[in-house]
Amino acid sequence: MPSSTLPDEGDSLETCVLKFSDLDLKESNLTNPSNSLKAELDGNIKKKYSFAKKKAFAIFVKTKQVSSPSHEFKEKWWRCCQQVFADQTSIHRHVATQHAEEVHHQTASILKQLAAALSASQSLTSADRQNPPKNYLTPSQEVSAWLPDISRFSPDELSCQGNEEGEVLLYYCYCDLEDPHWICAWQTALCQQLHLTGKIRIATEGINGTVGGSKVATRLYVEVMLSCPLFKDYLCEDDFKSSKGGAQCFPELRVGVFEEIVPMGISPSKVSYKNPGIHLSPGEFHKEIEKLLSQTNQEQGDTIILDCRNFYESKIGRFQGCLAPDIRKFSYFPSYVDKNLDIFRQKRVLMYCTGGIRCERGSAYLRAKGVCKEVFQLKGGIHKYLEEFPDGFYKGKLFVFDERFALAYNSCVVSECSYCGAPWDQYKLCSTLQCRQLVLTCSACQGQGFTACCVTCQDKGGKLASGPTQDSFKEECECTARRPRIPQEQHA
């Protein structure tokens, strides 16, 4: 596919590679580039370690830059960890103390790309450089070759300027990928070219993404993905779920390489996406729930509807009659299954999640336990079900992981204000900046000053406002203290 953004011929190979290194990686098992990775690189690359680290730090800081709260001033501002920084010194200190791992990981990624590109470059002879073989492409050229031609579109069409509404895409594709770092560089370049924001996780087991932008940009993105040889045999247009939104739904673009494309906390080599449950279309899933809900005594039946999402997702919307685990992260799901295994013994399990991705490996884990009669999963997740059955058996809103928080397909409100108990399903972040909890507090209670997730945070917020300290980053509140990490369900 031709590109309108090929690097200039005078650009060095190093420059070309670093153009596509704007990554924001967050991974727990990081390789510290200051020891093992740095030692493996040859002397020439070692000299560039300091430069790569500075570039990684600068990239991370740049991703946190936001518009000034007051349009009267043009100074730079930064937002990170629910805090606003008005000067470079404070944001630099914050990143250095709170995000060292992310910067280390990004440094490692830059160095790996640079090392691979230089190695490939050195393998060419002078003659090869003048007339490279048709089937040979350096990593930077390969990336450019798979960027679309955008010359027929104006910048306004791509960046969603004007009155036209944009959209958000949600998709995933499980397939074996040999070089996730190359795909990471390509996806970064592609999204930057199309002015897309969002989050994309890449691993040897596939890709998982949610991106927002103009409709022109998102349609181009889908076309590129469907035509890419790596994905065209696995992805189809129906695999992309769309909703109203745009680039403003995400604060930035994050593209990274991880071990898993959805963090279940178990290596894909131990629990593979290749052994999932039986996929049911939205129509088939609807009929199964209809049959279950028509039974007089559902508790004595042999079928369980299992919500694979986190508690704050199922709190504002869920299928009728479901079992919704009170867990905070999907990485707790395997432990939840282990602790409550008897509930699933000799049962038919109907699993569902937002878009289907968590069910792929969640169902594989449950099947591996060998206790269920059958394990099914909703193909396309709640997203696809609500497209067909907006007034079906799913009641309430659909939680989404972006700044919209939720999508409404029906008028049902299944949650309540955490202070007065009035029907309410509009999440806000806890007003205590160091807390990351979502809170349901109605307009009336907000007017009375109840804007935190709990009384502890409400009190803490007042104290921190008078003088925040460095240790205040740790989240400690009633919400986390009173919730068991892995709940034990009651069963007959």
The residues near 435 (Cβ < 8 Å, ≥ 6 apart) are: 82, 429, 452, 453, 457, 460, 475, 477
CATH code 3.30.70.100 region(s) in the chain: 143-261
Mean pLDDT, the chain, whole residue set:
80
Give the mean pLDDT of 289-304: 83
- Residue 386 φ then ψ, to 5°: -70, -25
User: Is 80 in the active site?
Assistant: no
Q: In this structure, are strands 166-174 and 197-203 parallel, antiparallel, or unpaired?
A: unpaired
pLDDT band at 22 (very low <50, low <70, confident <90, very high): very low
CATH number for 143-261 (one of 3.30.70.100, 3.40.1280.10, 3.40.50.300, 1.10.150.120): it is 3.30.70.100
- CB-CB contact of 235 with 173 (8 Å): yes
Strand (E) or helix (H) holding 157: helix 155-159
Count of CB atoms situated within 10 Å of the CB of 274: 12
Which one of 80, 353, 372, 453 is the catalytic residue? 353
Residue-wise pLDDT for 128-158, tens only, equals 444 433 333 344 446 778 899 898 988 888 8
3-class state of residue 214 by DSSP: coil
pLDDT band at 432 (very low <50, low <70, confident <90, very high): confident
Alpha carbon dihedral 293, 296, 301, 304, in 10-degree steps, equals: 30
CATH code 3.40.250.10 region(s) in the chain: 270-412
Is residue 489 pLDDT above 50, yes or no?
yes
Give the mean pLDDT of 65-78: 56
Is residue 109 pLDDT above 80, yes or no?
no
Q: Which class for 88: exposed (0-12), middle (13-18), buried (19 or more C-beta within 10 A)?
A: exposed
CATH number for 270-412 (one of 3.40.50.300, 3.40.50.2000, 3.40.47.10, 3.40.250.10): it is 3.40.250.10
Write the Ramachandran bin of 29: left for phi over 0, alpha for psi from -120 to 50, otherwise beta: beta
Per-residue confidence (pLDDT) for residue 278, from 0 to 100 = 97
Give the mean pLDDT of 348-368: 97
Residue-wise pLDDT for 379-421, tens only, equals 999 999 999 999 999 999 999 999 999 999 999 999 999 999 9
Residue 313, token pair as written in the block: 């997702």
Give the largest CA-CA distance in the chain.
80
User: Whole-model pTM?
Assistant: 0.71
Q: Which class for 271: exposed (0-12), middle (13-18), buried (19 or more C-beta within 10 A)?
A: buried
The residues near 68 (Cβ < 8 Å, ≥ 6 apart) are: 74, 75, 76, 77
Q: In this structure, are strands 77-80 and 83-85 parallel, antiparallel, or unpaired?
A: antiparallel
The residue among 406, 385, 355 whose CA lies nearest residue 290 is 385
Paired strand residues for 375? 349
- d(CA 302, CA 134) in angstroms, rounded, equals 60
The residue among 142, 419, 136, 388 whose CA lies nearest residue 283 is 388
Angle between helices 100-122 and 49-63 (to 10 degrees): 130
> Sign (positive/negative) of CA torsion 335, 341, 343, 347?
positive
Residue-wise pLDDT for 223-269, tens only, equals 999 999 999 899 999 999 999 999 999 999 999 999 999 999 999 99
